[in-house]
Structure 1
Amino acid sequence: MHEWRDMRAFALRGIPEVQPQDDIAAHIVKSMVEMGETWHPTDIVVVAQKIVSKAEGRVRELDMIAPGKAAREIAEKSGKDARKVQAILDESSEILRVVRCKPDGIVIARHHSGWVCANAGIDESNLGGSANRLLLLPVDPDASARRIATGIEERAHIRPGVIITDTFGRPWRRGLVNVAIGLSGVTPIIDWVGEKDAFGRELLVSQQAVADEIAAASGLLMPKDAATPVVVFRGLHWRANPHASARDYVRPLHEDLFK
């Protein structure tokens, strides 16, 4: 099993405002050099989804969106701008809940990637002050994570684990936490079934969502007003998994107790 006794985490400083077509891996390697940090074999780089989406041009202008009938109906029910609703519908495979509440309603959607989240993960904050711009999730966050890992490897000659995070709410709990939506190398779940606990009792159902735990911890160094979208974790001794995918977190519909 994994042996995690000590850990260090630090935010990378000096990451600039990311623009479309920017090379995030280049920004990360440059920041590491400027901070005087050297790469370790077991480093894990956690990257905020927002800068990945910006680099990939995942932006829609509200003025360019024409809402359809379904969007207008949901907008009437929720109080949300019909253009935003249309963007949500375009990013979703299913709408699960529509709620009228402050500030502009909530639409709980099942994203095309499988995530169940508010407004299909569409964001409007930290977009340079524009009130008419929406930021969408990456099309394939796992592929995005692999590209960042490859870019770092090409420049630093070491391939770290990469986790792309976004902030999600939780059923029955208030507040948001960072979760993993894209992975390169890092195993999403450690299966403890069949192992023994500290008292020798066999574990029957325990599955540790380790990439989500790392993602959640990164949120402590990514406050909304700090402009620190990249955090490096060191000391977590893990074995690279070439098949790692954050989609492993998506619970099959037949196990969905909240539907």
Structure 2
Amino acid sequence: MSVTVTAPDGVPEIRAGDDLAAALLTALGPGDLADGDVLVVTSKVVSKAEGRVVDGDREAWIDAETARLVALRGPTRIVRNRLGLTMAAAGVDASNVAQGSVVLLPLDPDASARRLRAAVAERRGVNVGVVVTDTAGRAWREGQTDIAIGAAGLAVLESFAGRVDAHGNELAVTAPAVADEIASAVELAQGKLGARPCAVLRGRADLVLPPGDDGPGAGALIRADGADLFGYGAREAVIQAVAARPAARTPFGSPVDAGDFVAALARAGIAARAAAPADVRTGRERRAAADIVAFAHGWESAETGDADTDLRFRPVTP
């Protein structure tokens, strides 16, 4: 298999209202786009064309684009933004733009990708996949890579579940995020300072969907809030569990079963037993600690008003 990436020079500075498709197609030569190619475009150039360059204080715009704080370290904020993406500063960017202005992410990156795909089909007569990218850090890893935040006409996940490897082992949950892999591969040719906001990846036509099928978009790569094992940073998780605000429950996920809750209490040094699937009991001497563990695991204390000396817990119902 051979995969090639072409990142052309010559894309002019894009401003609000510009015909982005025309600018990109002018930079791409007649042979630079063919059926089965993937056109990859940075979110910044999409945002500029869509009028998402705004004036004002960067911190205020981060506030406006933030749905929930995930982690805070000094001035650095990792947040879940209005698109559901978890990233630094909600994706608000102050680079490659006039001082005093910032660039916000596109309102709907998948819709932006669909429009660009349709324009390429109309003007060049070719069926391509489109990926809109942005830069993001990774937990446990230094540095940043580009990821797909918008996509159209592309299988964004390639599932290998149920297939067998060369040694006869069945693959259970292997699902490469191929849209993210394409975004990262293309960034190697674009370069951060290369002024090349688009590129074409050729060699994975098997991932490009037929005309008229835009696919699920990059939104399909975003885990639902509460389905991620790391909904809060370590310090923020402690604060939220101690504060025990009901609205902060979702990122901790669904309630665990009674056995897992008893095991979690034991790891915290609290003896407990499961009297029933929805009834866990502990002594009262460490109630504050037990309440904190309970909140983080989707349980809550349940006073019965009887003479039972045990502290009783039940899972929280939606």
Q: Structure 2 CA distance, aligned partners of 1:164 and 1:144?
A: 8
- Identity over aligned pairs, percent: 37
Across the aligned residues of Structure 1 and Structure 2, the Cα RMSD in angstroms comes to 1.3
After superposing on structure 2, the runs of 4+ consecutive aligned residues of structure 1 that deviate more than 6 Å are none
Residue 49 (str. 1) matches residue 39 (str. 2): no
Residue 256 (str. 1) matches residue 228 (str. 2): yes
Q: Structure 2 CA distance, aligned partners of 1:13 and 1:161?
A: 21
Q: Structure 2 CA distance, aligned partners of 1:159 and 1:237?
A: 10
Selected match of 2:58 from 78, 84, 88 = 84
Q: Structure 1 CA distance, aligned partners of 2:108 and 2:65?
A: 12
Compare relative contact order (CA 8 Å, sep 6+) and give the higher one, 1 or 2. 1
Q: Structure 2 CA distance, aligned partners of 1:254 and 1:193?
A: 23
Is there any run of 5+ residues in structure 1 with no aligned partner, and where? 63-82
Residue 25 (str. 1) matches residue 21 (str. 2): yes
Q: Structure 2 CA distance, aligned partners of 1:202 and 1:49?
A: 38
Q: Paired residue for 1:68?
A: none
Selected match of 1:95 from 49, 56, 69 = 69
Q: CA deviation at 1:255?
A: 2.3
Q: CA deviation at 1:199?
A: 2.4
The superposition leaves residues 164-198 of structure 1 with CA deviations (integer Å, 9 ceiling, x where unpaired) of 00000001111010000000111111111101113
Paired residues in the alignment total 227
**SS of equivalent to 2:36:** coil
The superposition leaves residues 135-154 of structure 1 with CA deviations (integer Å, 9 ceiling, x where unpaired) of 00000000000111111111
Residue 234 (str. 1) matches residue 228 (str. 2): no
Contact 2:58–2:94 (CA under 8 A) maintained in structure 1: no
Q: Paired residue for 1:157?
A: 125
Worse-superposed segment, 249-258 or 204-213: 249-258
The superposition leaves residues 9-35 of structure 1 with CA deviations (integer Å, 9 ceiling, x where unpaired) of 1102211111111111111221223xx
Please, what TM-score do these two structures have when normalized by structure 1? 0.84
Aligned CA distance change for structure 1 residues 198 and 25 (closer, same or farther; 3 Å):
farther
Q: CA deviation at 1:249?
A: 1.0
Structure of higher CA gyration radius: 2
Is there any run of 5+ residues in structure 2 with no aligned partner, and where? 232-318
Residue 115 (str. 1) matches residue 85 (str. 2): yes
Contact 2:33–2:200 (CA under 8 A) maintained in structure 1: no
Q: Structure 2 CA distance, aligned partners of 1:18 and 1:198?
A: 49
Contact 2:87–2:137 (CA under 8 A) maintained in structure 1: yes
Q: Structure 2 CA distance, aligned partners of 1:15 and 1:244?
A: 29
Q: Structure 1 CA distance, aligned partners of 2:123 and 2:116?
A: 11
